[in-house]
Structure 1
Amino acid sequence: MQGPESLSIVLFAGGFDRVHYALVMASAAAATNRKVTLFFTGRALAALLDETEPGVPGWHGLDAADDGRSPAERDGWFTANGVAGFEELLGACVMLNVTVMACEMGLRALGLPPGVALRPDVPVKTGGVVTFLNDAPKTGAIVFV
């Protein structure tokens, strides 16, 4: 039995471990020639904010990891133990042409201003749930994280 042709992942939770693992799944699926879309909403949107802007923590502002460590501490532990770090995984997703979407409603729900600076190194599409669902092939899988 063959798996789905595509993978669409909704990242709602803002916990570092959840966002990190969604990047693991997305990069692996893209590396196996599947069409992949990451739809960031809710607290997970912090991962797409441009941390070069003053006062914007970016992915470092995600919620603590499952073990209580800060995102930076957990990411450092991962890389020290041979696990791909956040930036490496996100870079792989970009290189493998994963579609990255930021939910317009989610940005408003977090109180972020229209046109908030998103990461310049990641081609981010903004759209809503309808845009996301129209992007997802009917033969694909949708995962909610």
Structure 2
Amino acid sequence: MKSPEGGVSVIVRAGDYESVHYALALAAAALAVNKPAVLFFTMAGIRALEGPPPALADWHRDAVNRKVGVGDFETLLAACVELGARFIVCEMGLRSLGIDRAGLRRDVPFTVAGIVTLLEETKPGMHLVTL
């Protein structure tokens, strides 16, 4: 059972590996200590849910992370899914970039919604972070 206090809502708007990787790590850490986590993918951050592999700048960093024992993209993404992160894909971002939701990963249970939904899902006491 998730703790009613704390947790994170992360706005994933950057399309680079480092930003998306850290967003997943932050959400996975919150979930591991029974805090809720919301991942809101918008603009270039939506590219993280394309693929695999996702169309992210600096993707080579994933192999480097794996080699040095740092959780890689797929491991962190799977942990977030398994631990119950709430995934939201921004409808405005999809439209703005002309991305078809049918091209997004099917193994990630996401909802297409907007900023209002993000704010509703960010409960009192949760931290709102943008990466």
Q: 1:121 aligns with which of 98, 107, 110?
A: 107
- Amino acid in structure 2 at the alignment position of 1:125: T
Query: For 2:18 and 2:90, how far apart are their aligned partners in 1?
Result: 20
Query: For 2:24 and 2:82, how far apart are their aligned partners in 1?
Result: 13
Query: For 2:113 and 2:41, how far apart are their aligned partners in 1?
Result: 10
TM-score calculated relative to the size of structure 2: 0.92
TM-score calculated relative to the size of structure 1: 0.83
Residue 112 of structure 1 pairs with residue 124 of structure 2: no
- Structure 2 residue matching 1:100: 3-state secondary structure: strand
Percent identity, aligned pairs only, is 40
Moved over 4 A (4+): none
Structure 2: stretches of 5+ with no match in the other structure: none
- Amino acid in structure 2 at the alignment position of 1:5: G
- Equivalent residues of 1:8, 1:141 under 8 A apart: yes
Shift of 1:116: 2.9
- Amino acid in structure 1 at the alignment position of 2:75: E
- Amino acid in structure 2 at the alignment position of 1:95: E
Query: For 2:116 and 2:42, how far apart are their aligned partners in 1?
Result: 13
- CA offset digits 1:21-47 (Å, max 9, x no partner): 111110001000001000000101011
Query: For 1:17 and 1:117, how far apart are their aligned partners in 2?
Result: 22
**Could you say which residue in structure 2 is the equivalent of 1:99?**
86
Larger radius of gyration: 1
Shift of 1:104: 0.4
**Could you say which residue in structure 1 is the equivalent of 2:21?**
20
Residue 86 of structure 1 pairs with residue 73 of structure 2: yes
**Could you say which residue in structure 2 is the equivalent of 1:68?**
none
Q: Considering only aligned residues, what root-mean-square deviation do their CA atoms show, in Å?
A: 1.3
Aligned length: 127
Shift of 1:58: 4.9
